[in-house]
Amino acid sequence: MTSKSRNLFLAIAIFLILITLNKFFLNEVKNTFYTITLPIQNILWKGGEKFSGFLQTLFELRNLKIENQELLKQNQKFLSVMGEIKNLRKENQTLKEALNLELEKDFELILVEVIGKETDGDFVLISKGEDEGISEGMPVITKEKILIGSIEKVYKNFSRILLLSNQKSNFDVEIQNQESSEIYGLAQGEGDLKIRLKFIPREEELAKGDRVFTTVLAGIFPKGLLVGEIGEVKKSDVSAFQEAEIEPYFKRNLSEILFVIKNFIPKKES
């Protein structure tokens, strides 16, 4: 073997040895690196997994909150629609009952809904006003032709009823007793849902339970509307007149649905 060939062989051998050693040492370096960093990588991986799960939980909670809000909105809309349907059914039923009593033959009616009561002041608020053709002085009744009172104040979209028991209220009435005789007197509101009958001649026979109706003498209300019935009667030998309590029917029948009589114009006081 020549010197040149020997040198070439030696160079190749050294190169192969270096490659082998490099691979061995590289694997050892990698092994040492992984041995040192693996616990850290494991902690970071698990932490990242937990953080990812935490973020996923936050997103799910946010989505659930949005979904819950949408469901609440839909439920509110549903309840609102059901409430409207219930009110319409109630109004339709009241109208049917009014038609059965033939109220539409006697009066032109506006159906209204009670939206508030001021029992201390003997007032009732209703859901319609000037826009629906309501004006002051119009009588208000139930479907049974029970008189509630009259329109005292009109606003754009609602009105206030002056109850018969209000102290400002006074009107002529007729009493029907068992003898079917015609007895006339004056009904005066006393407040606190109470009405008193006045100026009944002492010789007239009044009894508890006699029915009281409106009359057209003063032109305040239409004739024949139910007012109430006689309660306690007070008669004195020294007075030319007797008095009695009137138990108003509207105390038992003040329903949520009422009727305003549109085609009756009360006479104004001169």
Please write the tens of the pLDDT for every residue from 65-88: 787 777 777 766 655 555 555 555
Question: Which residues make Cβ contacts (< 8 Å) with residue 170, sequence separation at least 6?
Answer: 186, 187, 188, 189
- Whether residue 141 sits in one domain with residue 55: no
| Domain boundary, last residue among 100, 117, 147 | 100
1 domain residue, yes or no: no
- Whether residue 90 sits in one domain with residue 171: no
Domain count, the chain: 2
- Whether residue 248 sits in one domain with residue 204: yes
- Whether residue 158 sits in one domain with residue 270: yes
Q: How confident is the model at residue 28 (pLDDT cuts 50, 70, 90)?
A: low
- Whether residue 115 sits in one domain with residue 95: no
Q: What is the Cα–Cα distance from 127 to 145, expressed in whole angstroms?
A: 20
| Mean pLDDT over the full length of the chain | 78
218 domain residue, yes or no: yes
Hey, how many other C-beta atoms are within 10 angstroms of the C-beta on 86? 10
- Whether residue 245 sits in one domain with residue 122: yes
Owner of token pair 């057209």: 216
Q: Which residue has the higher pLDDT, 229 or 76?
A: 229
Q: Could you tell me where the beta strands, DSSP code E, fall in the chain? A: 109-118, 123-126, 139-141, 147-154, 159-163, 170-176, 182-191, 194-201, 211-214, 226-234, 241-248, 257-261
3 domain residue, yes or no: no
Question: Which residues make Cβ contacts (< 8 Å) with residue 119, sequence separation at least 6?
Answer: 192, 193
The total number of residues shown for the chain amounts to 270
21 domain residue, yes or no: yes
- Whether residue 245 sits in one domain with residue 183: yes
Q: What is the Cα–Cα distance from 226 to 224, expressed in whole angstroms?
A: 6
Q: Mean of the pLDDT values across residues 139-149?
A: 92
48 domain residue, yes or no: yes
Strands 123-126 and 109-118: antiparallel
- Whether residue 156 sits in one domain with residue 51: no
| Domain boundary, last residue among 67, 100, 133 | 100
Question: What is the DSSP code (8-state) at residue 166?
Answer: S
Owner of token pair 């104040």: 153
Q: What is the Cα–Cα distance from 127 to 118, expressed in whole angstroms?
A: 15
**pLDDT at residue 79, rounded to an integer:** 58
- Whether residue 217 sits in one domain with residue 239: yes
Q: Give the CATH number, domain containing residue 163.
A: 2.40.10.350
215 domain residue, yes or no: yes
Two tokens at 56?
A: 């996923």
- Whether residue 142 sits in one domain with residue 96: no
Global pTM reads 0.65
Please write the tens of the pLDDT for every residue from 177-226: 877 678 999 999 999 999 999 999 999 989 999 999 999 887 899 999 99
- Whether residue 267 sits in one domain with residue 179: yes
2 domain residue, yes or no: no
**pLDDT at residue 270, rounded to an integer:** 46
176 domain residue, yes or no: yes
Residue 251: domain span: 109-270
Two tokens at 47?
A: 């932490």
| Domain boundary, last residue among 66, 100, 134 | 100
Assess contact for 146 and 225: CB atoms under 8 A.
yes
- Whether residue 233 sits in one domain with residue 155: yes
